[in-house]
Each structure stands twice: as structure tokens, then as C-alpha cells.
Amino acid sequence: MRTWLIGLRIFIALSLLTGLAYPFLMTGVGEAIFKRQVNGSLLERDGQVVGSELLAQKFTKKTYFWSRSSASDYSGTSASASNQAVANETLLKAVAERKAQGLSHDMLYASGSGLDPHISPEAALDQVDRISVERKLSASQRDVVLKLIKDYTEGRQWGFLGEPRVNVLKLNAALDGALDKSL
């Protein structure tokens, strides 16, 4: 009987420690040190939230940079890959449609989560011509767009992990702001 009570006390103590104390402590530390990230890394423009830097959004206007496609239609509640085989007819048709739109290699397939907010710098550069034509940009404005891609390219994490990338939401917000000023 005594062993059972010791086990019950340890169970209750560890449940309180790991189920309440630790999560509340980590939430408090996160709020104190990483307030912006804990609250979703939201990007605001003119006092309105336009999105999160952490989640991809569906940009369909030809005047904006496009994110990679999403198997879950950019829904955070059902984020996942399509799990379609390379020979799957649905996947082949979707890739062919994306190729017909002039999208580059890494824009042909969805990211693993379907919510990756980044594209490669090359994918961003491949979209400059479309954006320039649709926005009727002058040569100097086109140069502004190219500079924005360079400025918003993030390097490898810690200098060696992953590949250079561009956050599409941040780039599109900067694109609107920069072109508004140059008009």
C-alpha cells in the first residue's frame, strides 16, 4: 500500500510540474524574450494585419510574387504534402500547368508542409519579368524590384543550414511600399 501512495504522489507531482509549471514557465519566457514570434510574427500595413511571416499565403495577382503551391490550399489546419507519386496523373497535370505559367523549377512542386513562406532567390528573379509587364514598370523601377529581391534574401540559417531564401509576404509588402514611393 505504501509503494502505491509513493507512486501516486510522484505521478501527481510530475503531472503538475510537466503539465502546468513547465508550460506556463516556457510561455512566460517566450512572451518576455520572443514576444513577436510567440504572437505569430504578424506583418502589419497601415494598421491592418496582412499576414504572418511564418506561413505562406496564396498570391494570385500577376502584379505580385507568387508563393510555392500548397497541397492544403494554404490552410494551417490541414497543412501537409500531397503524398502523390512522381507518376501520379494529378501531380503531372498540376506540374504541367505550372510550367505553362512560366514557373521555375522549385515553384513546380508544393513544399513539404504546404505552408513554406519562402521561395528561392532564383524563383523570385524568374517572376520579375511578369511583374514588370503587369505593373508597367520603367527600367529604373525594375531595378528597384531587383534590389528588393537582393535586400530581402535571407542567407543560410546559422551560415550553413538550408539554402538562401526570400520571404514572399515581406517581399510583396516591400514591393508595394517601394513602388508607391518611386511613382
User: 69-76 contacts: CB < 8 A, separation 24 or more?
Assistant: 69/94, 69/98, 69/107, 69/109, 69/110, 70/110, 70/111, 70/114, 70/115, 71/110, 71/114, 72/114, 72/115, 74/114, 74/115, 76/115
Cα torsion 81, 87, 93, 99 to 10°: value is 80
Residue with cell 502546468: 20
Q: What is the tally of structural domains in the chain? A: 2
Domain match, 29 and 54 both: no
Domain match, 146 and 58 both: yes
Domain match, 118 and 128 both: yes
Going residue by residue through the chain (183 aa), what tens digit of pLDDT does each one get?
789 999 999 999 999 999 999 999 999 999 999 999 888 888 888 888 888 888 888 888 999 999 888 776 666 666 666 667 778 788 788 878 888 887 777 888 777 777 788 999 999 999 999 999 999 999 999 999 999 999 999 999 999 999 999 999 999 999 988 776 654
Q: Whole-prediction pTM value? A: 0.76
Domain match, 103 and 175 both: yes
Domain match, 100 and 70 both: yes
Q: Please give the C-alpha separations between residue 11 and each of 18, 38, 91, 177, in angstroms, as whole numbers.
A: 10, 30, 50, 56
| Structural domain harbouring 131 | 41-182
